[in-house]
Amino acid sequence: MCGIVGYIGAKEKKEILLDGLQELEYRGYDSAGIAVIEAEHLNHFKAVGKLSNLREKTKEFHTDGFGVSIGHTRWATHGKPTELNAHPHLGQYSYVVHNGIIENYSELKKELQANGVAFLSQTDTETIVHLFERYNAVAASPFDAFKQTIERLHGAYATLLITEAAPETIFFAKNGSPMLIGLDGSDIYFASSDTPIIGKAKEVYYLEDGEFGYAKEGKIHLFDRNGVRQIVTRALASDKAMAQKEGYRFFMEKEIYEQSSVMSDTMIGRVKEDGVVFEELDEGFFDGIEQIKICACGTSYHSGLTASYLLERLAKIPCSVEIASEFRYKEPLLLPNTLFVTISQSGETADTLEALKMAKKAGLKSLSICNVDNSSIVRESDGVILTRAGIEKGVASTKAFATQAMVLWMLSLHLAKLRSALSPQRVAEEISAMLHTPKALIVSDELHGRLHRLSKRYLHGHGFFFIGRDIFFPLALEGALKLKEISYLHAEGYPAGEMKHGPIALADSELFTIALMPKTLHYEKIKSNVEELSARDSTILAISPEPFDLADDFIQTLSAAHPMLEFFEMMVVTQLLALEISVRLGNDVDMPRNLAKSVTVE
Ligand code: AGP
């Protein structure tokens, strides 16, 4: 979802901007643009669609010598994905890029139009550049004008502005959307996340909400509403190799195959012989906690639902799970002694972040389960457990989900021990199962080949029902979400026992049932549910260690000793099924239509 890059210095700016935007492609976008001021001269280019279109348009354009530059990938919110709506937005002599939503933009727009300003785009962003130029006509300095502009904005934003009125300066502000500043000597970079500046900047500063300022002559001038702020940078990691495809056809495919090894990273130093430890959490972090509320979106919500079964079963602690966008507006009862747990791959999901802020305001202790260190959600939380999945580039989340589920299982066991909820023997059994997880996630050629062959029978029909019980219900939801995201076929996840209460009316041979039939949890119950569907002619793809006579197609999983091992094995099957169907349909597996990797608007 919208990505920002910026650079001040003497290096070739076009390449820095385009390469940086490429690194942000995974966030999702539908148009892109860049603007450069060099020798007091403004240039800008925009293109709809993929970055390659912008590259083509800028083929003949080269920068030379010192200058300031900004770039943007836009995921449309206000106005269609057209060139006019693409960023940077131009005033008379300034350009702006923005990520987020200016909530009071229509009020600001009316005010500006009443003063004779003509708008070119339908975006909320364009108000920023016109407001700036209006204030700049009378302000003591361009920075004063920028400050006055920022004071007028309501909503979430990360923004960069360049202007011929201060041709050696980039103005910046952040509130609610991510932005960081990278430094390498007098070269200064801006970006929405680490990846565009890895290998370029040596140090980094992650802007806090409410911070703004300007960069000029190799220096950052940082402020918030109380005045000057000190900038304390930290060293920037350099781990981009992880983000390459390494011979796989798609990032998603690579990420599915990686799950086995990243799971070991997730466990290392945490899963011990006699229990789970989280050194990253202060001693006594869970003292006084009597219930848990989990809040998340999408795939992360599904791992949260999985956790609700595990936390209650293993740790005997009440747990409720909420979709963040619902939670925010339901006037929730936030009771003391509740631990507020947010789960997020990106750490930037606007709804989850805002829910977290609400919980904090209500005085709740917070814990985030996240894959991106220093992300907004991580910085906002009292405690953090990183999932250590490595950079996930496929928009459809796979290894992030797997590692979230693992961390939540580990958390359940950690709490079970703290609360003396399980016998030492039961703890030992859980630990032993955890240590077998990497094995359960290995993708064999045989399995992948079988799913490839079988996928050709699932390219049509009037819908898919993924069904499961207990923790296999959230897995069914996740399986259906994966298929929807990358195949664009209609799929639903349903609790198997609920089918007879309505959805079974849809059953016929064109309704595909993907049945998750683990041997370790309620096998006989789910078997009856699937039999009911088969009796009504639904086409059944059964996934189970136990051969099932009524299945039209069958994927045999290994007989596992623990429900979570079956869970992870079946997760891989559903991911590969979605992948193979998507490939056969000729879809863009890594960047499915209409989706963004990091959803930074509500
Ligand atoms: C996952 O495949 C999805 N693209 C999406 O549902 C995602 O999980 C959701 O937007 C939440 O993102 P987060 O984990 O980064 O907070």
Select from 295, 345, 571 the residue to mutate for testing ligand 1; criterion: most ligand atoms less than 8 Å from CB. Answer: 345
Q: How far is ligand 1, taken at its centre, from the CA of residue 522, in Å?
A: 29
Residue 152 vs residues 103, 160, 223, 572: alpha-carbon distances, Å: 11, 16, 16, 49
Select from 300, 344, 373, 589 the residue to mutate for testing ligand 1; criterion: most ligand atoms less than 8 Å from CB. Answer: 300
Q: Which atom of ligand 1 is nearest to the CA of 596?
A: 4
Select from 177, 252, 299, 393 the residue to mutate for testing ligand 1; criterion: most ligand atoms less than 8 Å from CB. Answer: 299
What percentage of the chain reaches a pLDDT higher than 70?
A: 98
Catalytic residue among 13, 399, 417, 597: 597
Going by alpha carbons, the residue nearest to atom 16 of ligand 1 is 344
C-alpha to C-alpha distance for 388 and 263, rounded to whole angstroms: 8
Residue 16 vs residues 22, 254, 505, 583: alpha-carbon distances, Å: 10, 27, 56, 32
Same fold, 244-441 and 443-589: yes
CA-based nearest residue to 491, from 468, 513, 520 = 513
CA-based nearest residue to 312, from 421, 437, 473 = 421
Annotation marks residue 200 as catalytic: no
Confidence band of 373 (pLDDT split at 50, 70, 90): confident
CA-based nearest residue to 2, from 212, 108, 149, 160 = 160
The model's pTM is: 0.77
Confidence band of 515 (pLDDT split at 50, 70, 90): very high
CATH superfamily of 443-589: Glucose-6-phosphate isomerase like protein; domain 1 (3.40.50.10490)
In CATH terms, the fold of domain 3-238 is: Glutamine Phosphoribosylpyrophosphate, subunit 1, domain 1 (3.60.20)
pLDDT of residue 599: 83
Whether the predicted pLDDT of 243 surpasses 50: no
- Is residue 541 a contact partner of residue 551, using CB atoms and an 8 Å limit? yes
C-alpha to C-alpha distance for 263 and 404, rounded to whole angstroms: 10
- Is residue 463 a contact partner of residue 514, using CB atoms and an 8 Å limit? no
Q: How far is ligand 1, taken at its centre, from the CA of residue 42, in Å?
A: 38
pLDDT of residue 559: 75
C-alpha to C-alpha distance for 493 and 466, rounded to whole angstroms: 5
Whether the predicted pLDDT of 169 surpasses 80: yes
Q: How far is ligand 1, taken at its centre, from the CA of residue 373, in Å?
A: 16
CA-based nearest residue to 311, from 426, 421, 435, 402 = 421
Where does residue 554 fall: left (phi above 0), alpha (psi -120 to 50 degrees), or beta otherwise? Answer: beta
Output the ligand 1 site: residues, CB below 6 A.
297-300, 344-346, 349, 352, 395-397, 485, 595, 599
Q: What is the DSSP string of 82-137?
A: -TTTSSSEE-SSEEEEEEEEETTHHHHHHHHHHTTPPP-SS-STHHHHHHHHHHHT
pLDDT of residue 564: 97
C-alpha to C-alpha distance for 39 and 67, rounded to whole angstroms: 7
The residues facing 123 across adjacent strands are none
Annotation marks residue 2 as catalytic: yes
Catalytic residue among 2, 295, 297, 319: 2
pLDDT of residue 138: 97
pLDDT of residue 1: 64
Peptide bond into 545 cis (omega under 30): no
Q: Which atom of ligand 1 is nearest to the CA of 481?
A: 2
Q: How far is ligand 1, taken at its centre, from the CA of residue 300, in Å?
A: 6
Element containing residue 210 per DSSP (H, E): none
CA-based nearest residue to 190, from 417, 442, 16 = 16
Q: How far is ligand 1, taken at its centre, from the CA of residue 346, in Å?
A: 8
If one counts every other C-beta atom within 10 angstroms of the C-beta of residue 559, the result is 12
Would you state the structure tokens that stand for residue 200, as one six-digit string? 């370029």
Rounded mean pLDDT, 108-130: 95
Would you state the structure tokens that stand for residue 451, as one six-digit string? 């799913």
Q: How far is ligand 1, taken at its centre, from the CA of residue 120, in Å?
A: 33
Rounded mean pLDDT, 572-598: 93
SS3 222: strand
C-alpha to C-alpha distance for 471 and 562, rounded to whole angstroms: 12
Whether the predicted pLDDT of 380 surpasses 90: yes
C-alpha to C-alpha distance for 319 and 471, rounded to whole angstroms: 14
Whether the predicted pLDDT of 239 surpasses 70: no
Q: What residues does each domain of the chain span? A: 3-238, 244-441, 443-589
C-alpha to C-alpha distance for 12 and 546, rounded to whole angstroms: 61
Whether the predicted pLDDT of 23 surpasses 70: yes
Q: How many CA atoms lie within 13 A of 532 on its CB side?
A: 18
Residue type, 218: G
In CATH terms, the fold of domain 244-441 is: Rossmann fold (3.40.50)
Q: What average pLDDT does the structure give for the chain?
A: 93
Rounded mean pLDDT, 192-209: 90
Expressed in angstroms, the distance from the first to the final Cα of the chain is: 11
DSSP collapsed to 3 states, 464-486: EEEEECCCHHHHHHHHHHHHHHH
CA-based nearest residue to 402, from 273, 275, 303 = 303
Going by alpha carbons, the residue nearest to atom 10 of ligand 1 is 298
- Is residue 510 a contact partner of residue 539, using CB atoms and an 8 Å limit? yes
Would you state the structure tokens that stand for residue 57, as one six-digit string? 């348009």
Digit-coded pLDDT (tens) for 293-325:
999 999 999 999 999 999 999 999 999 999 999
Would you state the structure tokens that stand for residue 1, as one six-digit string? 């979802």
Digit-coded pLDDT (tens) for 398-432:
999 999 999 999 999 999 999 999 999 999 999 99
